[in-house]
Amino acid sequence: MWMGYMSKPSDFPVPNEIGNPLQHLIDQYARSYTLRYGLAAIGMFLAQVPQRVPALVVGVALDAILFAEIPYTLPLVPDGLLPTTTETQVLFTVGLLVAAYLLDTGLNWAAGWISGTARYWTLHDIRVDTFDALVTHQLRFFDDRQTGDVMSVLNNDVSNLTQFSENAFRGLGFLSQLLVAFAFMLTLHPRLATLLLLMPVALALLSRWYTTRVEPIYEEVRESVGQVNSRLENSIDGIATVKSFARENDERAAVEAVSKDYRDRKWSAIRLRLAFDLSSWTVSSLAFIGVFALGTYMALNGAPALLGDALTAGTLLTFLLYTKSFYQPVRQLMLDVLDSYENALASSKRIVAVLEGDCPDPAAGHDLQGNAGKITYDTVSFSYTGADEQTVSRVDFTAEPGSLIGIVGPTGAGKSTITKLLFRFYDPDEGTIRIDGTDICEVSQRSLREHLGYVAQDPFLFTGTIRENIAYGVDDADQTAVEEAATLAGAHEFITQFDAGYSTQVGECGESLSGGQRQRIAIARALFRDPAILILDEATSHIDNETERQIQRSIDVLAGDRTIVVIAHRLSTVRNADQIIVVEDGQIVERGTHEQLLDDSGTYADLWRVQVGETDAVSDSFLDTTVSNRSGLDGETDEVVR
Ligand code: ATP
């Protein structure tokens, strides 16, 4: 059975004290643009008055022009000011229609302009702050989530807010439209207008039914969008591995499974929407037919007692035009606005979880003083899962300033984890780590990391030139300093062989370079910052023997004035170390110099013998130990530098 893809939980919990996360975002971010939002809302509302005028005026004009006995009257306008002859009434009506159009267009344009700036400025602030919060999260946050999920917070979720803000403004316009139209109808025929109120009430009840049912479905849809993104990213990122294992069909099956899940969930939401659409259209059509039937009856036979006055043909036309014009706004209001509200609510939960999830660095104001580079681990224990089984257990050692420390041990022993704790990518569960006597938890993470240089096992190169990668984070870097760092890292020679030299572009993630070249650029990047402490995590694993010797010499040169911690599978890399620490199952099992450890004839001595090919001299107890547990070290036998 194919087991390649294990979905991690995509959990973005919102802190309890935050009630409605969308409201929270509006409070936090829209406040600074209150004036613009206010002006835009007023403009939007006022624009509805001229927009509703044509239906009213046309009804009045038709009555007056076609039926001589009906006077030309308009609500709120004294009769003395209105024209009395048919010709002037026609001209006056045309003039009113043109004026209403101009006013409506002008107000709508101004409201759109002002609300547009307010909305897009607000969303820009949210996106930048969310990214800012994201990069300050501890690595644990990223461990627990898929990259696709995290990316979709910045892409899809912020876009959903954009969509909602657009619809919300349009919704406000629709609402104003309804209010103004009802106000006009009330002046024409109050009782019929009141009866017509049943239509929005029925639509509101329908929308309530719709939103309560669609909300949980939208939650699921969002979750499956994240899963589709993650799945696609996984397959494309690992395409070389997929092809080399000929697993294209499995990948296709996995993509098909998550895509089907998304399709089914989205289809449930769409089915519900279609049902709502149909029922709201029915309500609206019934209202239109009802107004026509009742209105015609009232125009021909007079109104029943309960409905007050009779209806003129012009007023009936105005009512029909308004009733017809209600459906679209009410439908838009209910579907688009409420739909995008549900989406935005789900999205804002994830955005707020990112914004508020991690505590800010409590020691942000305190900088790490001194630059000697003494490292002390004081009975440090740590577990990734918080469970009893510890990845690092009671680790205790001191690295003097300028010393070279080697950490060796089998795969999965906890070597990298020990150094990750030094960077505070994770905090120890027990014990203390000090640099130059200061507990690293009491200083800002930024100042701590400025003291540290790190070269990872599989270093990441950013899209850009080699120079930009070496001088990462420094604008206008001095070329001499870049070249010095590259020379120390053994990278200068191959860089200058490229046509564009230091200006050579490295592709996304540095694919256009070999593993060894990427590693040397990463070492140069770490050296460029001239940190007091340098961590090389298997940094020489992709490098040939000659280059390793070159880096070895550089390490020796560097070792005089900075502390270097080298995690090594090749024991030859750490042969000259001042202290070698042997880690097994998260614990330090041996420590000393290369010679001392060989004299002790323990695990290190056996590992050394395996690597230099003296397998006959290896102790029986070592051979008894699970071979697979030591696989990370066994594989190096042929390549050892002697
Ligand atoms: P290697 O030599 O293969 O790089 P290592 O000695 O550096 O191994 P670590 O990478 O520190 O070992 O891992 C120690 C243990 O912690 C392993 O069992 C690993 O699976 C586990 N581990 C590492 N990173 C995480 C993580 N982010 N979440 C949970 N467990 C992890």
What's 524-569 look like in SS3? HHHHHCCCCEEEEECCCCCCCHHHHHHHHHHHHHHHCCCEEEEECC
The structure tokens listed for 571 are 């024991």
* Cα(376)–Cα(396) distance, integer angstroms: 8
Cβ density class 270-282: b for 16+ within 10 Å, e for less: eebeeebeeebee
Q: What is the pLDDT of residue 628?
A: 45
CATH T-level assignment (fold) for domain 2-356: ABC transporter transmembrane region fold (1.20.1560)
Q: What is the pLDDT of residue 434?
A: 93
3-state DSSP call for residue 353?
Answer: helix
* Cα(432)–Cα(116) distance, integer angstroms: 52
The CATH architecture assigned to 364-451+533-542+565-600 reads 3-Layer(aba) Sandwich (3.40)
Q: Is residue 317 left, alpha or beta, with left meaning phi > 0 and alpha meaning psi from -120 to 50?
A: alpha
Question: If you take atom 18 of ligand 1, which residue's CA is the nearest one?
Answer: 412
Q: Is the pLDDT of residue 268 over 90?
A: yes
Atom of ligand 1 nearest to the CA of 457: 4
How many angstroms is it from 411 CA to the middle of ligand 1? 8
Please name which of 594, 623, 628 lies closest in space to residue 610, comparing C-alpha atoms: 623
Query: What is the longest distance spanned by two Cα atoms in the chain?
Result: 123
Grade residue 313 by pLDDT with cuts at 50, 70 and 90. Answer: confident
Q: What is the pLDDT of residue 138?
A: 76
How many angstroms is it from 139 CA to the middle of ligand 1? 13
Q: Is the pLDDT of residue 509 over 70?
A: no
For 608-624, the pLDDT digits (tens) are 888 777 776 677 776 66
Pocket lining for ligand 1, CB < 6 angstroms: 143, 384, 391, 409, 411-417, 632
**Stretch 103-117: mean pLDDT:** 92
> Mind giving me the DSSP string for 440-508?
GGGS-HHHHHHTEEEE-SS----SEEHHHHHTTT-TT--HHHHHHHHHHTT-HHHHHHSTTGGGPEE-G
Count CA within 13 A, CB hemisphere, residue 40: 23
Q: Quick one: CA dihedral 202, 207, 210, 213, positive or negative?
A: negative
Is 3.40.50.300 the CATH classification of the domain at 457-530?
yes
CA triplet 36, 41, 42: central angle to 5 degrees?
Answer: 100
Q: Is the pLDDT of residue 122 over 50?
A: yes
Residue scoring higher pLDDT (622 or 452) = 452
Residue ranges covered by each domain of the chain: 2-356, 364-451+533-542+565-600, 457-530, 601-642
**Stretch 293-306: mean pLDDT:** 81
Query: Which range, of 2-11, 224-233, 365-374, 500-509, averages the lowest pLDDT?
Result: 2-11
pTM reported for the whole predicted model? 0.68
* Cα(336)–Cα(463) distance, integer angstroms: 40
Give the neighbor-by-neighbor strand order of the sheet with 438-439: 392-399, 375-382, 430-435, 438-439
Do 2-356 and 364-451+533-542+565-600 share a fold? no
Question: If you take atom 11 of ligand 1, which residue's CA is the nearest one?
Answer: 414
Q: Quick one: CA dihedral 67, 69, 74, 80, positive or negative?
A: positive
Asked if 431 contacts 377 with a C-beta cutoff of 8 angstroms, the reply is: yes
Q: What is the pLDDT of residue 571?
A: 84
> Could you tell me whether strands 587-592 and 430-435 are parallel, antiparallel, or unpaired per DSSP bridges?
unpaired
Grade residue 257 by pLDDT with cuts at 50, 70 and 90. Answer: very high
For 183-206, the pLDDT digits (tens) are 888 888 888 888 888 887 888 788
> How high is the mean pLDDT of the chain?
82
Q: What is the pLDDT of residue 635?
A: 41
Count CB-CB contacts under 10 A for residue 500. Answer: 11
Which of 143, 389, 415 gets mutated to test ligand 1 (max ligand atoms within 8 A of its CB)?
A: 415
Q: Is the pLDDT of residue 229 over 50?
A: yes
Q: Which amino acid is at 214?
A: V
* Cα(219)–Cα(258) distance, integer angstroms: 16
Q: What is the pLDDT of residue 102?
A: 95
Q: What is the pLDDT of residue 631?
A: 43
Grade residue 359 by pLDDT with cuts at 50, 70 and 90. Answer: low
Query: Which range, of 281-285, 507-511, 592-596, averages the lowest pLDDT?
Result: 507-511
Beta strands in 208-357 (DSSP E): none
* Cα(273)–Cα(261) distance, integer angstroms: 19
Count CA within 13 A, CB hemisphere, residue 8: 17
Q: Is residue 10 left, alpha or beta, with left meaning phi > 0 and alpha meaning psi from -120 to 50?
A: beta
Q: What is the pLDDT of residue 638?
A: 37
Which of 6, 391, 536, 589 gets mutated to test ligand 1 (max ligand atoms within 8 A of its CB)?
A: 391
Grade residue 38 by pLDDT with cuts at 50, 70 and 90. Answer: very high
Grade residue 633 by pLDDT with cuts at 50, 70 and 90. Answer: very low
Q: Which of 283-292, 449-458, 507-516 has the highest mean pLDDT?
A: 283-292
Q: What is the pLDDT of residue 637?
A: 42
Asked if 567 contacts 456 with a C-beta cutoff of 8 angstroms, the reply is: no
Residue scoring higher pLDDT (8 or 45) = 45
Atom of ligand 1 nearest to the CA of 384: 29
**Stretch 429-439: mean pLDDT:** 92
Atom of ligand 1 nearest to the CA of 140: 27
Q: Calculate Rg over the CA atoms of the chain.
A: 36
